Amino acid sequence: MADQQNRKSKTSRKASLDSVRPKKPPRDDEYAQQPPPPTPPSLPVSEYPTARALHAYTAESADELDFKKDDVLDIISDLSKGWWYARRHRGNKLGYVPSNYVLLNNAEVTQQPGWMEITRSEADKLLLQPGLPEGLFVLRPCSVGCYSISLRVKHPTKPNFYSVQHYRMSITSAGLFCISPEATFHSVGELLAHYAQTADGMACKLMKPFPQPPPPPPADLSQLEVNRDCFVMLEVIGHGSFSEVHQAKWNNSIFVAVKTLKPNMEAEQNFIQEARLLLKAHHPHVLQIMGVCTDREPLYIVTELMTNGSLLNYLRKDKGVLLNIEHLLLMKMQLVEAMSHLESLRIVHRDLRAANVLVGEDARVKLADFGLARELDDAGVYTGQGEKFPAKWTPSEAVTKGRFTAKSDVWSFGVVMWEIVTYGGVPYQGLQNREAVELVSKGYRMPNPHGGHIRCDPSLYQIMLDCWSASPEKRPTFAKLKDQLKAYAAEKHRASRRRV
């Protein structure tokens, strides 16, 4: 049975590869009518172009060469073909290799400005960021062939409509580089210099390589304006009183999240405020805003798509339940980094909950939902009366007086820590909002949830209690919380080493 499944898996993998890869060399049983593989030229090994394996490959016939990721190969045959005849350094074996599985080790290419060893979709995401100029480009490996140029292009008639065009570079049988057979060059540098002077068939000239490190975020919302025709709306992945969040495809290339606003004049002002604060709070652990559409209703806020959804749901599902204490601690540390950043900008979030923290593919967390976020005045206070807010995450001074500070967010962070260690537990379970608020005002605090599969030692629980101090002045700052969690993580690491 296992052998049948293995054969079926190999057949399925072969079919998926055959649909995208170039034509193969002849199989063993075809050699009666075909010439044998080329005899390697009698050149010193150092004179062959070398390549590095981007992926592992398992040979499917005697004429092919199997290799592991990062194996070094000498390319012996014509580089213009889909399959190359190569010598693998490890074991000194010969055979055919698929050209789209390897990358030529051309130092001249990898040292060019704009070179990045990234995929097509990653180049799309980089170059579709708002506020970037037309003609910005990335030089990268190509999945089929040699290299590729990814170029940011402005639509000739539609305002604020940018796309990314990809131009595959090939190597001729004479060893020349080209985008089009009509224009060939002795080096990649010559090719780039040519297309920097003239578009010559491209959508525009190469104006500037993508900067290293990445460019700073746009300075204001006007630079974030994008054309709504760029987006194809897909499923609804979230909703609120006046808004819906859709998964969408941007320029038919990358998936993003688009928050749309239902018609409402007051909500429109808050929607613009949310976009502005999200832009101001730019940080690796804050959801990245990628664009806005404010030319007509409905208004859009475009952000990166966090594929694992909210932290609350993630913790309650299979992937989250399997997280160990180190993973949970890392999430807290990432979140406190974001909150410390907001604290430095004098922004109060006011809706800090596990439900408003999002999780990416690599379990990386980011702070989201800035709908209630506000800037603090010179005294470090924001006063808001008659507004809805999450009562079980809000301290007494904010519930009774509408007085919000960075220290009210610290209280909320203590509740989020409790949510994380309990794998998405419900704070004050069994109590209505009013009952929870009354108990807290009388000094009640949630007990340490340690027990069973929940691990929360006294020192971690004490950090929560510090966050829940009745006096805002006695609560730690986020900067101090960041140091405390780092110290706690270091101590846990030392303790684990001592046990080993």
Q: Residues marked as binding for ATP?
A: 259
Cα Rg of the chain (Å, integer): 28
Residue 230, CA distances (Å) to 43, 118, 151, 163 in order = 52, 23, 17, 8
User: Known catalytic residue: 351?
Assistant: yes
For the record, the structure tokens of 95 come out as 């055979």
Residue 395, CA distances (Å) to 350, 370, 406, 439, 470 in order = 10, 19, 11, 12, 8
Residue 283, CA distances (Å) to 171, 337, 362, 375, 407 in order = 41, 9, 17, 17, 20
Element (H, E) at 52: strand 50-53
How many CA atoms, within 13 angstroms, populate the side-chain half-sphere of residue 31? 9
Residues with Cβ within 8 Å of 315's Cβ and at least 6 positions away in sequence, in order, are 321, 323, 354, 419, 420, 423, 424
Q: Are 488 and 459 in contact (CB under 8 A)?
A: yes
The rounded distance, in Å, linking the Cα atoms of 341 and 349 is 11
For the record, the structure tokens of 258 come out as 């688009």
Element (H, E) at 6: helix 2-18
Catalytic residue among 71, 74, 351, 409: 351
The rounded distance, in Å, linking the Cα atoms of 82 and 142 is 13
Cα torsion 190, 194, 199, 204: sign: positive
Residue 297, CA distances (Å) to 222, 287, 362, 366 in order = 17, 23, 35, 28
| Closest by Cα among 472, 354, 499 to 406 | 472
Residue 201, CA distances (Å) to 157, 179, 205 in order = 19, 9, 9
Q: DSSP character for 130?
A: T
Tell how strand 208-209 and strand 136-141 pair up. parallel
Q: DSSP character for 64?
A: B
- Calculate the CA 258 to chain-centre distance: 16
Q: Are 50 and 74 in contact (CB under 8 A)?
A: yes
Tokens 């962070």 belong to residue: 413
What residue numbers does the annotated binding site cover? 259
Catalytic residue set: 351
